[in-house]
Amino acid sequence: MIDLDDTDRALLRDLARDGTLSAGELGRRHGLSQPAAWRRVKRLTDAGVLKGQRVLVDRAALGFGVTVFLGVKLATKGRVSLEDFERAVTAIPEVQVVQHVLGLFDYRLRVVARDISDFERVLRRRIMTLPGVGQVEANVVLSEEARPGPLG
C-alpha cells in the first residue's frame, strides 16, 4: 500500500474537486515545481489511487429530473440466479449503479428517469421483470453530496 504525505493528500483533495488541474497549477498551489507535481500525480496514478475521472452534469437540465435508489431482494438465490440478474440489470440504460450488498437487500441500484411517471415505466417494465427479482424498495433522491473523505 502506498504511503501518503500531507502534500499528496492536498493534491488528492484538489483533484477530487477539479480533475482538470494541470501539474503547473497544482505545483503553484502547494509550493512544488511543475515536474515535481507531475511526478507525484503519476505516482498516485500508478499506485491506482487516482482512478480515472468522473463528469458531473446537471441531470435536470438534460431532462432527467428524478434519481431513485432501489433496494432489491432476490426471490430465488443461487449462483445462476445472481448471474442472470446481474447480466440483465446492468443492460438497463436507466440503471447507473449496481452494487451487490449484504444486509436487508441483495442489490442496490441507482436509477435515473425523466420524471416520476417515467420512473414508474422503468420500474414496471424493466426492474420488476428482471429474472429472480423479489421485494423492491424505492427511495427518491432529494439531495446528494460527495465528501472529501479521510484525506486529512
Partner 1 sequence: MLDDSDRRLLRHLLAEPGLPTAALAERAGLTTATCWRRLERLADSGVIQARQAVVNWRALGYEVEVSLRFTLDKTHPRAFDEFLAAAREVPEVIGVETFLGRVDVRLNVIARDLPHYQQIYRERILTLPHINDIEALMLIATIKDSAGLPL
**Residues of the shown chain interacting with partner 1 in the complex, contacts defined by CB under 8 A:** 1-2, 4, 12, 15-20, 47-59, 61-62, 64, 69, 71, 86, 89-90, 93-105, 108, 112, 137-147, 149-152
Whichever of 32 and 67 has its CB closer to partner 1, that residue is 67
Shortest Å, Cβ 48 to partner 1:
4
CA distance to 7, 38, 46, 53, per residue, from 151 (Å): 10, 19, 19, 18
Q: How many angstroms from the chain centroid is the CA of residue 28?
A: 30
Cα separation, 72 vs 100, in Å, equals 10
Shortest Å, Cβ 130 to partner 1:
13
Long-range contacts at 113-117 (CB < 8 A, ≥ 24 apart):
113/64, 113/65, 113/66, 113/67, 113/68, 114/63, 114/64, 114/65, 114/66, 115/65, 115/66, 116/66
Residue type, position 89, single letter: V
| Nearest by Cα to 90 from 102, 98, 100 | 98
Shortest Å, Cβ 37 to partner 1:
14
Whichever of 51 and 79 has its CB closer to partner 1, that residue is 51
Whichever of 11 and 32 has its CB closer to partner 1, that residue is 11
Shortest Å, Cβ 33 to partner 1:
21
Whichever of 101 and 128 has its CB closer to partner 1, that residue is 101
Whichever of 62 and 75 has its CB closer to partner 1, that residue is 62
Cα separation, 76 vs 87, in Å, equals 16
Shortest Å, Cβ 43 to partner 1:
12
